[in-house]
Amino acid sequence: MSTASVPLPNWINYALLPVVNLTLAFLISGLVVWIIGESPYDALKLMLQGALGRGEGIGFTLYYATNFIFTGLSVAVAIHAGLFNIGSEGQAYVGGLGAALVALAFDHYVPWYVTMPFAVIAAAVFGAGWALIPAWLQAKRGSHIVITTIMFNFIGAALMVYLLVNVLIVPGKMAPETRTFLEGGQLPKLDWLMALFGLKLGPAPFNVSFLIALVMCVVVWVLIWRTRFGYEVRTLGLSRSAAGYAGISYVRTVMIIMLISGGLAGMMALNPVMGASARLQVEFVGGAGFVGIAVSLMGRNHPLGIVLAAILFGILYQGGAELSFEMPTITRDMIVVIQGLVILFAGALEYMFRPAIVRIYQQLVRA
Amino acid sequence: MDSFDILVSILGSTIRLSVPLIFTALAGLFSERSGIFDIGLEGKMLAAAFASATAAHVSGSALVGLGCGIGVSIAFSLVHGFASITNRGNQIVSGVAINFVAAGLTAVLGQAWFRQGGRTPQLPGEARFGPITLPGTDMMRDVPVIGPLYANVISGNNLLTYLAFLAVPLSWWVLYRTRFGLRLRAVGENPGAVDTAGISVTWLRYRAVIVAGFLCGFSGTYLAIAQSAAFINNMSAGKGYIALAALIFAKWKPVPVMFACLLFGFLDALANFMQGKSVPLIGEVPVQIFQALPYVLTCILLAGLIGAANPPKAGGVPYVKER
């Protein structure tokens, strides 16, 4: 009998399998470190110390995690409709334009809490706008969303570089970036939140975007599991033909969920643009859109899982930075390797161990 | 320079820039025609570039470099095959993973082994694929119009360039005139029918991804030890995705693939040439337009404005034999 259809209890599906896959990914990463000639144990220790050792490290970890929560949610909502949005990277990049334009327009006149709602909306609208054409091509023309969103990443990157180099640049400056936003265009740091736990934030850019990200987790949870539209989305994701017979419009559902996905990706820009650097810079997304794929896969497309996976990747990013500082033979690119292995084992090979685990489980149940 | 010389020089660099696209797009063609989506072309190309530059540096031989490039690229495509054929995993996810692992590993290993910021050491001439002067170049040089074209565009390229243009008719022949090709195309459209005929879907698809790895090995090697003389961090720089766009633009057919790659190579050559120059009436054209144009054109095609592009029907769907 095929083992693919044997039901397994939730704790195996949602805890044991991901942990086994993740362990394998980290074991192979350790192997790479060992091949380079460093001790994997020391590397792991340095990483954990760098990411969680001090208040500043935790601040950076949570700052990175904020990015990944947004992009992870963006990938996840699309996956619930059976769509693979690889374009979170580009949507976040263009979303940054929305946030920056609002910050540039408002920062002279109003305090940050007035700017913030407009910036959130603008970032989401710009991000959603960048998902619009791929969504339309998927819904109406049947063009594969993966292909079109990849292409829109590149078109978006070209567009943003053009705008930053030719339009938004400060006259007379060399760096392709906007002017620094004033206080009214910056999102304040969460020193007080860290102080509650007796930690000092230091220069870490952990800011209000984190709270927006948590709110979005709740919003996504309600949307997907507690609304009629979410039910339609999940139905479509499970079976397009069943959704069709149930009278769920394919075009409408695909368009709306992709706009939501793009909007969530766009909001990611708030964190680096308004929370950290207080200006729009070239390539500020830095691969967070792609990390979102890994985060969503590991978090099983559920907001709670996404938060946990985002924090894990935050630890990797911050710890990896510290590690490359302490062990110069290991560059920051080691994070990219780990990320790739996590995507491979937790995503593409997620069922590799399932048959074996099913066999063990059946023996245990019988015994 | 008069305008004819400019044209010859742009055409020359068009050829040079199209070669990696042609190999990579043909790789994608074999894989996708068998029903396996391959987003990981970029990663395989990068891994092959690193492997070939490293092997050529160690051995001092370009051919050993090519062999290692192909070997590593095939190893990556076997991982893709293991994930998407044997384990029926998501092919897109697997491709994304391969791109990440390749980008990260080449940078980490390059820095750990050579400590030159991710570069491999500069290769001497004999460890690279050098230009080959075709017979009759000197004789033809003085013939007007055809002479310079022959001398600067057709002759004087390296071995891999000629192989790329040979690979196009060869791919056509394999896909449309051999039993393997017929079965490969069938398995991408209707694997159930192929299975019913008693042919192994799994083995057929594995062979297709191995061919894809083989061809990506050539494109990566070309980047590192024919076009340049060393591996540079992330040197594939999105060419794998442009090749993917070319594949779609060419509607998954070998000869149009070559023309699409030449078109995208031409746009790239034009962008390099136009940098900092201004066009009468328009002024300076931003380079970013040329960078985005291959993708914009492909999206316009997908929107149905230049005919329809129909992908292989079973593409991206893992084949399940038993129920």
B305-323 tens-digit pLDDT? 666 667 888 887 888 876 4
Helix (H) or strand (E) holding B252: none
Q: Is pLDDT of A285 > 80?
A: yes
Burial of B159 (0-12, 13-18, 19+ CB in 10 A): middle
Contact criterion met (CB below 8 Å) for A242 and A235: yes
The reported pLDDT for the residue numbered A1 is 43
Q: Is pLDDT of B224 > 50?
A: yes
Say whether B108 and A158 touch across the interface (CB within 8 A).
no
In whole angstroms, give the CA distance from residue B301 to residue B294. Answer: 11
Share of chain A above pLDDT 90, in %: 62
Say whether A146 and B39 touch across the interface (CB within 8 A).
yes
The reported pLDDT for the residue numbered B317 is 82
ipTM above 0.95 for this complex? no
A233 within domain boundaries? yes
* Torsion (CA) A104, A270, B233, B161 in degrees, nearest 10: -80
Q: Is pLDDT of B199 > 70?
A: yes
Q: What is the mean pLDDT of chain A?
A: 91
Angle between helices A40-52 and A17-36 (to 10 degrees): 110
In whole angstroms, give the CA distance from residue A26 to residue B79. Answer: 17
Range of A124's domain?
A: 69-309
A140 within domain boundaries? yes
Query: Which residues, listed in sequence order, are joined to residue A281 by a DSSP beta bridge?
Result: A177
Between A148, A152, A290, which is nearest B96 by CB? A290
Tokens of A332: 């920051």
Task: Mutate one of A79, A349, A352, A353 to test the B interface: name it (highest B CB count within 10 A).
Answer: A349
Share of chain B above pLDDT 70, in %: 97
Task: Mutate one of A5, A150, A316, A338 to test the B interface: name it (highest B CB count within 10 A).
Answer: A150
Q: Which residues of A touch B100 (CB under 8 A)?
A: 290, 336-337, 339-340, 343
Q: Which residue of B has its CA nearest to A141?
A: B303
In whole angstroms, give the CA distance from residue B79 to residue B81. Answer: 5
Task: Locate all alpha helices (DSSP H) within chain B, ordered by sequence.
Answer: 3-33, 41-59, 62-81, 91-114, 137-140, 146-149, 159-177, 179-189, 191-196, 201-221, 239-249, 254-274, 287-302
- A336 CB near a chain B CB, below 8 Å? yes
Contact criterion met (CB below 8 Å) for A330 and A33: yes
pLDDT level of residue A366 (50, 70, 90 thresholds):
confident
A11 within domain boundaries? no
Q: Which residues of A touch B93 (CB under 8 A)?
A: 293, 297, 343, 347-348
Rounded to an integer, the average pLDDT of B20-32 is 96
Contact criterion met (CB below 8 Å) for B38 and B99: no
In whole angstroms, give the CA distance from residue B20 to residue B266. Answer: 13
Say whether A137 and B309 touch across the interface (CB within 8 A).
no
Q: What is the mean pLDDT of chain B?
A: 89
A354 within domain boundaries? no
A29 within domain boundaries? no
Contact criterion met (CB below 8 Å) for A43 and A332: no
3-state secondary structure chain A: CCCCCCCCCHHHHHHHHHHHHHHHHHHHHHHHHHHHCCCHHHHHHHHHHHHHCCHHHHHHHHHHHHHHHHHHHHHHHHHHCCCCCCCHHHHHHHHHHHHHHHHHHHCCCCCHHHHHHHHHHHHHHHHHHHHHHHHHHHHHHCCCHHHHHHHHHHHHHHHHHHHHHHHCCCCCCCCCECCCCCHHHCCCECHHHHHHCCCCCCCCCCECHHHHHHHHHHHHHHHHHHCHHHHHHHHHHHCHHHHHHCCCCHHHHHHHHHHHHHHHHHHCCHHHHHHHHCCCECCCCCCHHHHHHHHHHHCCCCHHHHHHHHHHHHHHHHHHHHHHHHCCCCCCHHHHHHHHHHHHHHHHCCCCCHHHHHHHHHHHHHC
Nearest CA distance, A161 vs chain B (angstrom): 8
Q: Which of B310, B10, B128 lies closest to A143 in space, CA to CA?
A: B310
Highest-pLDDT range among A200-204, A331-335, B79-83: B79-83
Total domains present in chain A: 1
Say whether B299 and A32 touch across the interface (CB within 8 A).
no
Neighbours of B126 (CB within 10 A): 10
pLDDT level of residue A3 (50, 70, 90 thresholds):
low
Chain segment A30-68, per-residue pLDDT in tens: 999 998 888 899 999 999 998 998 888 999 999 999 999
Which are the contacts of A331, defined by CB distance < 8 A and separation ≥ 6? Answer: A324, B107, B108, B111, B118
Region of A173 on the Ramachandran plot (φ > 0 left; ψ -120 to 50 alpha; else beta): beta
Query: Which residues, listed in sequence order, are joined to residue B290 by a DSSP beta bridge?
Result: none
Q: Is pLDDT of B293 > 70?
A: yes
State which amino acid sits at residue A331. Answer: T
Chain segment A246-275, per-residue pLDDT in tens: 999 999 999 999 999 999 999 999 999 999
Say whether A344 and B304 touch across the interface (CB within 8 A).
no
A264 within domain boundaries? yes
Q: Which of B63, B58, B52, B225 lies closest to B128 in space, CA to CA?
A: B225
Interface of B with A in 126-155 (CB under 8 A): none
- A352 CB near a chain B CB, below 8 Å? yes
- What 8-state DSSP symbol labels residue B230? S
